Chain A
Amino acid sequence: MNVLDINNVTKRFGNLVAVRDVSLSVAKGELCAIIGPNGAGKTTFFNLISGFFPPTSGSITFDGRDITRLSTHERVTQGMARTFQITEIFPELTVFENVRIAAEVAGGFRLRPWINRNEAAQVHARVEETLKLVSLETKTDRLVGELAHGDQRAAEIAMALALKPHLLLLDEPTAGMGDQETYQITQLIRRLHRDSNYTIVLIEHDMRVVFHLADRICVLDQGRMLAQGTPQEIAANETVQAAYLGNAA
């Protein structure tokens, strides 16, 4: 079954059509990369999926339920988690506290004025497990705002993972990173995909990363879906080459 089905969504801002009649299906366990030149509508498309704003037309189905009109936090509750191009974290809290908030919300404790020992232990275990997954287990007591950029990214991914999502949306996970950090975050995403079997949709500019990770690549151009297919198909696609890839691939 597909985790995500996007059917003919269009988003207009006044006269500008940022996303035009785009459809996309993501199967369980798949890693789908969205590429395209600047201004192609990638981030708008992501914002439509995660519920930043509703589409002008079209529908979005997640885990078999129509979520087109659901708000952001309702989509998160249904199992959708995302990270941002510019890292969104709680800078003045520690790594542990950042991820604990996510784990408590995921555990259904967000409205609780108390938490008992058992529940706290569960949350604690969840946080440590998640931090281990992203290799931050030695930095749990550091303030997130003081970490290196790559570690901040990892912390943001850890917060998303602590929500136990069925779908992970990563907006340019390697943005602003050096080669070493890019390599590490790519390995992390690869582990999440291959070993932990997460379903992932990501936007990425770095073609090495995209071709290394993706099961399927979707090319957006001027708000339209130009092509989608396996990395081999996309690399061989002449329209895509002309519009975007040039000689890079």
Chain B
Amino acid sequence: MSAEQTRKLIALAAIWAALLLAPYWMVPLGGYTALATRVLVLGLAAMSLNFLLGFTGVLSFGHAAYFGLGAYGAGLALKFVALSTPLALVAGMLLGGLCGAVLGTLIVRRRGVYFAMVTIAFGQVFYYIAFQWSSLTGGDDGLRGFSRQPLDFGAFKIDILSSANNFYYFVLFCFALAVGAMAFILRSPFGRTMIAIRENERRARFLGIPVERHIWIAFTLSCFFMAFAGALYALVNNFADPRGLHYSQSGDFVMMAVMGGMRSFWGPLLGAAVFVVLQDYLSSITVNWMSFVGLLFVLVVLFFPRGLLGFLQRSKA
């Protein structure tokens, strides 16, 4: 095993150890478990976006739509279909993922700025639907009247509603599944065609890769992961918010990914952690917390173009 592989394994073990022990080290540092849960869920969302942005090289500026659809899917399933947490997650993932698959067929016809613009436009369509269709979605007030349910294994039940730690570990389990799936795909022949498209679209095409079809698949997968994160987010809050579909939310996800480092797999998680923790601390001090996050973002982009994680990796090497 090479030195680089060893270093990677150690880094990976450190990341998972930190995540597994988060409830125990965050509290003494002045945090709280629910904050760690939010970091995980928004981190998963940023990583899902980065699956497309960092590894296929196309920028979606409307990914919050699929995040929000996941949240509404989960909420509506809990409220109107059945009191089951797993069902809610599946419902949210399917709603967001399938909408992404259908719209993706149109979106992948464009590249660059036009791709980003079309994703924003479609995203806003869902935002206004959620906003206007009050009878179903609760409109501006958001979707309320549901809560995450205990996990029922027949012989025993796990309470994830009142126990913050239990819920954190449930979310961590879901996070691990999704992140594992992403890593698996990225290491596959299909994943390598995504990177080929990122690196040089013309060369990819002239290697016999139908570029549009591959971008569509990557887009759809990314939407499924995004919707899964959104469904988890509805469980975190027991609430689905139309602002979760808004393009400003999409912008936040892009910021997390870029700030953390979009060329690295784990970068967006770090970006999300910085974003969420800063938001949590600063918003209790000033309503203008976003100015500070924005300032940090500008500094990172100017001085560490590979993001915070890219900077950490470079200074270590």
Interface, chain A (partner B; CB < 8 A): 50, 71-73, 76-77, 81-82, 84, 88-93, 97, 100-102, 104-106, 109-115, 159, 163
**Contact with A89, one of B195, B200, B209, B214 (Cβ below 8 angstroms):** B200
- A-B pairs with lowest CB-CB distance, top 8: A76-B208, A90-B199, A109-B189, A88-B203, A104-B189, A113-B188, A112-B189, A73-B210
Residues of A within 8 A of B196 (CB): 90, 101
Say yes or no: A88 contacts B206, CB within 8 Å: yes
Say yes or no: A105 contacts B211, CB within 8 Å: no
CB distance from B133 to the nearest CB of A (A): 36
Residues of B within 8 A of A92 (CB): 199
Determine the distance from Cα of A73 to Cα of B193 in the docked complex, in whole angstroms.
13
Count B-side interface residues using an 8 Å CB cutoff.
Answer: 24
Determine the distance from Cα of A97 to Cα of B195 in the docked complex, in whole angstroms.
10
Residues of B within 8 A of A114 (CB): 184, 188
Say yes or no: A91 contacts B199, CB within 8 Å: yes
Interface, chain B (partner A; CB < 8 A): 184-185, 188-193, 195-196, 199-200, 202-211, 214, 217
Say yes or no: B189 contacts A110, CB within 8 Å: yes
Residues of B within 8 A of A163 (CB): 207-208
Q: Which of chain A's residues has its CB closest to B184's CB?
A: A113
Say yes or no: B200 contacts A110, CB within 8 Å: no
Determine the distance from Cα of A76 to Cα of B203 in the docked complex, in whole angstroms.
11
A110-B205 in contact given A89-B200, A90-B200, A91-B199 (Cβ < 8 Å): no
A101-B211 in contact given A73-B205, A76-B206, A81-B206 (Cβ < 8 Å): no
Say yes or no: A159 contacts B207, CB within 8 Å: yes
Say yes or no: A105 contacts B190, CB within 8 Å: no
Q: Which of chain A's residues has its CB closest to B188's CB?
A: A113
Residues of A within 8 A of B192 (CB): 97, 100-101, 104
Say yes or no: A105 contacts B188, CB within 8 Å: no
Say yes or no: A110 contacts B202, CB within 8 Å: no
